[in-house]
Amino acid sequence: MSAFVRVGRIVFLIAACCGAAFAGVRSSQSASMPESNGNSGSGAQLVSNSKPGDFSVPQLDALATDLLARSKDALPSGRPNSSSSMSAGEISSKWNELQSRIHADETAVAACRSDPIACSQAARRFLSIVDLGRKHEGRVRLGWLNRAVNMAIRPVSDWSQYGLADFWASPLETLNSEAGDCEDYAIVKYVALRELGILPDDLRLIIVQDDRRETGHAVVAVRSEQRWLILDNRTMAILNAEDVQHYYRPLFALDQQGTHIIATAALDQITDQ
């Protein structure tokens, strides 16, 4: 199957990507705690009950280069074929439509900071996650935030919650219901990290193909200390992108600039410069 047949499938696969993906993690949450700042210099991770290698996320630049190499025949003149363009268009449409709801959430959160009495419960939950992150720095901060979001949301399919095959909820929508699927976890983390001041060039929401499960999936990539780290609702661990290399293949990178097809976008827009 060509790389772009897989791209064409991603919109449909992602709808079923995460319903049960986090169930095993939630059963062991109490045993998963972030390491102290004292270990951050050596790449501190959250303690995880998962076995090494259970979650594999290739380094974004290496994987994008590999995907590009395997897609040469499918991409004459460096342009995606029509099926890829349709898939990219649908992803881009979802991401662009979401931005207005994210902006409304950010306005509500700002008002909540000014007048706590007027806060919704969802805004309070979001602020508690962000404020927890502010107490830490670097990789440990990412670990606490990843764990807090993973614990705040229970895995529920979009069919069960919204009666739709695929719906991308805003952070406050997700935290209001306390339920969502993989992209909902990722969106909360993405916006919380933006609230914490992560620079736009250092933050991506990545749509990947999980070849092991034959599903789409969504994670957040954050550049910290010149390396990309992955926040995933399937594990409490913060993953070094270069350490795990077998299952996830990035297809789309979403950020404040819009949607990028990783196989064709300039690599310096979505990976290390």
C-alpha distance from residue 50 to each of 56, 133, 161 (Å): 12, 23, 28
> Are the beta carbons of 206 and 241 closer than 8 angstroms?
no
How many CB atoms are located within 10 Å of the residue 218 CB?
25
Span 107-122, pLDDT tens digits: 999 999 999 888 999 9
Report how far residue 259's alpha carbon sits from residue 245's, in angstroms, rounded to the nearest whole number.
24
Query: How many domains is the chain partitioned into structurally?
Result: 1
Q: Which of 75-89, 156-170, 238-252 has the lowest mean pLDDT?
A: 75-89
Enclosing domain of residue 257: 3-37+44-70+87-268
Nearest CA to 229 out of 200, 195, 204 is that of 204
Please indicate, yes or no, if residue 112 is contained in any of the structural domains: yes
Tokens of 72: 């040469």
Lowest mean pLDDT among 61-70, 86-95, 116-125, 151-160: 61-70
Q: 152-171 pLDDT, tens per residue?
A: 999 999 999 999 999 999 99
Residues ≥6 apart with Cβ < 8 Å to 148: 128, 129, 132, 133
Question: Residue 51 carries which DSSP code?
Answer: P
Does some domain include residue 75? no
* Phi, psi of 190, deg, nearest 5: -60, -50
Where are the strands (E) in the chain, listed by range? Answer: 154-155, 179-180, 203-210, 215-224, 227-231, 239-240, 248-255, 258-261
Q: Is residue 189 part of a domain?
A: yes
Q: What is the pLDDT of residue 244?
A: 55
The CATH number assigned to the domain holding 148 equals 3.10.620.30
**pLDDT score recorded for residue 62:** 46
Q: Is residue 78 domain-resident?
A: no
Residue 209 lies in a domain: yes
* Pick from 15-19, 25-29, 134-138: least confident: 25-29
Is residue 79 in some structural domain? no
In a domain, 201, yes or no: yes
